[in-house]
DNA sequence: AACGCCTCCAACCGCGTCGGG
DNA sequence: GCCCGACGCGGTTGGAGGCGT
């Protein structure tokens, strides 16, 4: 026996909502509150299924919906949270007041994802990464760490690259301070859900370096980074950085800053006349290391 | 003006999860 | 523990509108 349909298909209207239907739904919810979506259409006098009513309310009619173009800060937040959470649109929407999961999903699919892919950068996905590979000893011998390894994930970093990265990138300004993604613990429940991919992390290093802090304010982020830097590398200047003196330094994930002329190494917005290849090369030259044209993040590790 | 292509986004669909009985 | 209804989520679709030819 199959699943019973959420509504009687016969006589149920589909497609765009009319203003009369919107008014009926709004009036009913203002009077009785949302919920009990299955019986709501009948009680509200609507020829719709409950699912359709719930979607219309949550994505369009809700009074706290914020309309209009997403701000630069909101875009940065989306990119950063996507790097941590993946396609958890509702979780991302939970960090953006007034925005819906549907809106963010649409925005990602039509703007951000395309923009990053156009640059040859696969949006980093912490949720897809096997963080145990970070502890691969071969990484310690690298003379340079590719920026792509750093995107969205704590990594082994040369302090000089760290300094450069921190000077070029910033975290979104509206992140919640002290929301920590405790990704160092097996199956740890984070503020955004359970991270189950991280297992069997060896005890060879300081696990605290795998924290991914999320800041509410750029200045706070910079201050914390400075504190961490000073405590971690106080005896470790870029001048005496030796080949094998790599350290795990927790500095928060870094992200490419899009569409911010003042801070981004090159104009990366969609109005740019440069080609994606030019953008990528310019970007790489500024960073002084390669961003490969690899679409599978896992290949980088 | 007509046509075709592309973009955007509201809405739909199927499935997973949760909770009450 | 099982069943089933209700709900929520993420992927997908399709229509409207914009734009170039």
Q: Which of A100-104, A119-123, A212-216 has the highest mean pLDDT?
A: A100-104
For nucleotide B6, the protein residue with its alpha carbon nearest to C1' is A110
- Sign of the C-alpha dihedral computed for residues A258, A277, A283 and A129 taken in this order: positive
Greater pLDDT, A79 or A245 = A79
Greater pLDDT, A165 or A121 = A121
Q: Does pTM surpass 0.75?
A: no
pLDDT at residue A258 in the model:
26
Report how far residue A90's alpha carbon sits from residue A236's, in angstroms, rounded to the nearest whole number: 42
Measure, in angstroms, how far nucleotide B16 C1' is from residue A3 CA. Answer: 13
> Residue A63's beta-bridge partner residues?
none
Residue among A181, A76, A170, A173 nearest A127 (CA): A181
Mean pLDDT of A207-213: 30
Helices (H), A48-129: 50-56, 72-85, 89-94, 101-107, 113-118
For nucleotide B11, the protein residue with its alpha carbon nearest to C1' is A15
Measure, in angstroms, how far nucleotide B16 C1' is from residue A187 CA. Answer: 20
Per-residue DSSP letter, A109: I
Around Cβ A81, how many Cβ atoms within 10 Å?
A: 24
| Mean pLDDT score across all residues of chain A | 50
Report how far residue A251's alpha carbon sits from residue A226's, in angstroms, rounded to the nearest whole number: 9
Nucleotide nearest to A114 (CA to C1'): B7
User: Tokens 């509504």 correspond to what residue?
Assistant: A7
A264 CB and strand B closer than 7 A: no
Lowest-confidence range among A32-41, A42-51, A145-154? Answer: A145-154
User: What radius of gyration, in Å, describes the C-alpha atoms of chain A?
Assistant: 23
pLDDT at residue A237 in the model:
32
Which bases of chain B are under 7 A from a protein CB atom?
A: 7-15
pLDDT at A43 over 80: yes
Report how far residue A247's alpha carbon sits from residue A245's, in angstroms, rounded to the nearest whole number: 6
């Amino acid at each position: 026996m199959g699943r019973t349909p959420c509504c009687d298909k016969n006589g149920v209207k589909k497609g765009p909502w009319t203003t009369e239907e919107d008014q009926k739904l709004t009036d009913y919810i203002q009077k009785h509150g949302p919920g009990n979506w299955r019986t709501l259409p009948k009680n509200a006098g609507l020829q719709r299924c409950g699912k359709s009513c719930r979607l219309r309310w949550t994505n369009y009619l809700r009074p706290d919906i914020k309309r209009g173009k997403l701000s630069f800060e909101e875009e940065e937040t989306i990119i950063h949270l996507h790097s941590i959470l993946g396609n958890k649109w509702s979780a991302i929407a939970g960090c953006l007041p007034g925005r819906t999961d549907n809106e963010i999903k649409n925005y990602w699919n039509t703007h951000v994802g395309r923009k990053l892919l156009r640059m040859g950068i696969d949006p980093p996905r912490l949720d897809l990464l096997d963080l145990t590979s970070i502890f691969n000893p071969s990484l310690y011998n690298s003379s340079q760490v590719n920026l792509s390894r750093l995107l969205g994930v704590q990594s082994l970093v040369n302090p000089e690259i760290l300094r450069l990265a921190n000077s070029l990138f910033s975290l979104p300004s509206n992140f919640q301070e002290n929301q920590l993604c405790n990704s160092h613990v097996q199956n740890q429940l984070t503020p955004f859900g359970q991270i189950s991919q991280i297992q069997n992390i060896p005890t060879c290093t300081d696990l605290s370096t795998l924290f991914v802090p999320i800041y509410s304010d750029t200045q706070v982020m910079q201050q914390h980074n400075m504190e961490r830097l000073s405590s971690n590398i106080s005896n470790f200047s870029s001048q005496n950085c030796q080949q094998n003196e790599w350290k795990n330094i927790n500095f928060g994930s870094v992200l490419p800053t899009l569409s911010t002329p003042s801070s981004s190494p090159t104009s990366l917005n969609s109005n740019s006349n440069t080609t994606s290849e030019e953008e990528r090369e310019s970007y790489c030259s500024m960073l002084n290391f390669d961003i490969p044209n690899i679409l599978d993040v896992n290949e980088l590790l």
